[in-house]
Amino acid sequence: MLSKSQISLLKSLQHKKFRKEHGLFLVEGYKSVVEFVNTAYQVDTIYHTPAIAPKMLNLSRKINFQEISLTDLEKISSLKTPQEVIGLVKMPVWPALNYNTLKNRFSLVLDGVQDPGNMGTIIRTADWFGITNIICSEDTVDVYNPKVVQATMGSLARVNVHYTDLATTLPKINLPVYGAMLDGENMYATNFGSEGLLVMGNEGNGLRPKIQALISKKVTIPRVGHAESLNVAIATAILCSEIKRNSLK
Amino acid sequence: MLSKSQISLLKSLQHKKFRKEHGLFLVEGYKSVVEFVNTAYQVDTIYHTPAIAPKMLNLSRKINFQEISLTDLEKISSLKTPQEVIGLVKMPVWPALNYNTLKNRFSLVLDGVQDPGNMGTIIRTADWFGITNIICSEDTVDVYNPKVVQATMGSLARVNVHYTDLATTLPKINLPVYGAMLDGENMYATNFGSEGLLVMGNEGNGLRPKIQALISKKVTIPRVGHAESLNVAIATAILCSEIKRNSLK
């Protein structure tokens, strides 16, 4: 059983302020928790219902396990339909971004993406395409937001997400900077080469002018129909697919 | 001001049963409502706050306009942050699907997609790529679900969504049937030609076996990284882009 103060602490982690204060975040669902167990992330405690206890035996013994009631689990879950396992994970302290690790590959840059579902889906898509670094503006939604963690479906355990001031960071990375913009070059005719950054903007406003100024090539997904725009996670995925296309044919 | 019975009717439209019973659904937000005004859809009434009244003057005079308080608007809205305009729209009675209209183009087929956000995003993406027909299994999420309507960002006004028994319908459509499956052919090496159906499965379970049996070519988005799968709206978008690629280069 969880004490009142434990429940209060765990519930507080739905808010960025308290995640930062405690250096902890929650991962919900057995499959997602398992993804974190064998990575550099430190899983502090796994809370689970009695029903799922047998499945816990396969996991590392270095973790604390705590059996709790479904009622307690529902109290700490941020999901409408809580799952039977919640992991309490330590927020890693990222070393400063080493620009050399970005060479000979593509990385994503997010300029103010706000929607947690979009952010999580972008991380999942990046993981699918083998993109391991995402560089975000300071005002991009927090990656440890429970809705982001959920939407990554475990991929967060494998993708490094850095927050930084893009305007000062991008010029220091000596790589081609592709920006998704409505007035860009047809992406199907673009030669993306083998390394670079792909910059995606905010859902409503796109790229900020000072970030637009740092783009070396604007690219566009040509439109046939009438939708005014594409969802940012969708546009990111289509561009990632096009960038990786030549190496995957 | 809205009467209690009006509020009760409008609120009931959040549920499929009552949408069907009344033949009505709601569209929220000025931009989305405008998309419906000049289409075959019949907009019955537009509810709006006094603040946005001047913007209503540009819209067709065939519609009833009703100025309501923000409090009333919040009561009938299904959004966390209600917008200032809600349109009450008649559900169209679709004629039987004419298979001839599917020739010389691509259409989407959804086998049990459940998440309203995914469904709405798929419709928006289809509209971007000029795909105007989506054929859904009977158990696919209802397209007039408020979360679906919201996620389409107005594109629902331009994309025809049909519900039918896929197992009996697909064999009657004499077109190549491409199915997104993990063990399919590399999509980058696939020649999609200029017409066909692209079938996408349920979020957790993919395509049902009886639908798999109707696929003429399985296709896959090659994976480089480690994510177990892609979100269904993401996979649909990547495949639509690849299908349209040759005509857009």
* Residues written for chain A: 249
Instruction: Identify the pLDDT of residue A161.
Output: 96
CA distance B145 to B117: 10
DSSP state of A203: T
Instruction: Identify the pLDDT of residue A249.
Output: 85
Q: Do A224 and B248 touch (CB under 8 A)?
A: yes
Q: Do A234 and B229 touch (CB under 8 A)?
A: no
DSSP H helices in chain A: 4-12, 16-22, 30-37, 53-56, 70-76, 116-128, 146-152, 166-169, 209-212, 232-248
Q: Sign of dihedral through CA atoms B155, B156, B159, B165?
A: positive
CA distance B143 to A32: 30
Count of beta carbons in the 10 Å neighbourhood of residue A70: 13
Beta strands in B68-210 (DSSP E): 85-90, 106-111, 133-137, 160-164, 177-186, 196-201
Find how far residue B107's CA is from the centre of its chain: 13
User: Considering only alpha carbons, which residue of chain B is nearest residue A154?
Assistant: B227
Instruction: Identify the pLDDT of residue A146.
Output: 95
Q: Do B238 and A241 touch (CB under 8 A)?
A: yes
Q: Does residue B61 surpass a pLDDT of 80? A: no
In angstroms, what separates the C-alpha of A221 from chain B's closest C-alpha?
8
Q: Can you tell me the mean pLDDT for B170-188?
A: 96
Backbone dihedral angles phi then psi of residue B206, each to the nearest 5 degrees: 70, -150
Q: Does residue B155 surpass a pLDDT of 90? A: yes
- CATH code for the structural domain at A99-248: 3.40.1280.10
Share of chain A above pLDDT 70, in %: 100
Residue B101 one-letter amino acid: T
Contacts of A36 (CB under 8 A, 6+ apart): A27, A43, A87, A89, A154, A156, A157
Instruction: Identify the pLDDT of residue A40.
Output: 87
B118 near B210, Cβ under 8 Å? Answer: no
In angstroms, what separates the C-alpha of A54 from chain B's closest C-alpha?
23
Q: Can you tell me the mean pLDDT for B44-66?
A: 88
B37 near B43, Cβ under 8 Å? Answer: yes
Instruction: Identify the pLDDT of residue A159.
Output: 96
Distances (CA, A) of B5 to B2, B11, B14: 8, 10, 15
CA distance B146 to B144: 6
Domain residue limits, chain A: 4-90, 99-248
Instruction: Identify the pLDDT of residue A232.
Output: 98
Chain A residues whose C-beta sits inside 8 Å of any chain B C-beta? 117, 121, 124-132, 151, 153-155, 158, 186, 188-189, 221-231, 233-234, 237-238, 241-242, 244-245, 247-249
Q: Measuring CA to CA, which residue among B146, B4, B145 is closest to residue B75?
A: B4
ipTM of predicted complex: 0.95
In angstroms, what separates the C-alpha of B164 from chain A's closest C-alpha?
25
Instruction: Identify the pLDDT of residue A62.
Output: 80
A21: left (phi over 0), alpha (psi -120 to 50) or beta: alpha
Q: Does residue A129 surpass a pLDDT of 80? A: yes
When scoring B238, B243, B246, B247 by the number of chain A Cβ atoms within 10 A, the one with the most, hence best to mutate, is B238
Helix (H) or strand (E) holding B10: helix B4-12
In angstroms, what separates the C-alpha of B1 from chain A's closest C-alpha?
32
Instruction: Identify the pLDDT of residue B60.
Output: 74
CATH topology match: A4-90 vs A99-248: no
Token readout for A116 is: 């947690």
Find how far residue A214's CA is from the centre of its chain: 23
Q: Do B226 and A127 touch (CB under 8 A)?
A: yes
Token readout for B219 is: 């296709």
Domain B4-90 has CATH 3.40.50.2000: no
CA distance A79 to B40: 39
For A66-108, write each residue's pLDDT tens digit: 999 999 999 999 988 888 999 999 999 888 899 999 999 999 9
B75 near B13, Cβ under 8 Å? Answer: no
CA distance B156 to A9: 43
pLDDT band at residue B179 under the 50/70/90 scheme: very high
B131 near B106, Cβ under 8 Å? Answer: yes
Q: Do B229 and A130 touch (CB under 8 A)?
A: no
CA distance B107 to B12: 32
B46 near B63, Cβ under 8 Å? Answer: yes
A216 near A191, Cβ under 8 Å? Answer: no
User: Considering only alpha carbons, which residue of chain B is nearest residue A131?
Assistant: B225
Token readout for B35 is: 């998309």
B110 near B120, Cβ under 8 Å? Answer: no
Q: Does residue B249 surpass a pLDDT of 90? A: no
Residues A113/A117/A119/A125 CA torsion (nearest 10 deg): -140
Helix (H) or strand (E) holding B47: strand B43-48
For B191-220, write each residue's pLDDT tens digit: 999 999 999 999 999 999 999 999 999 999
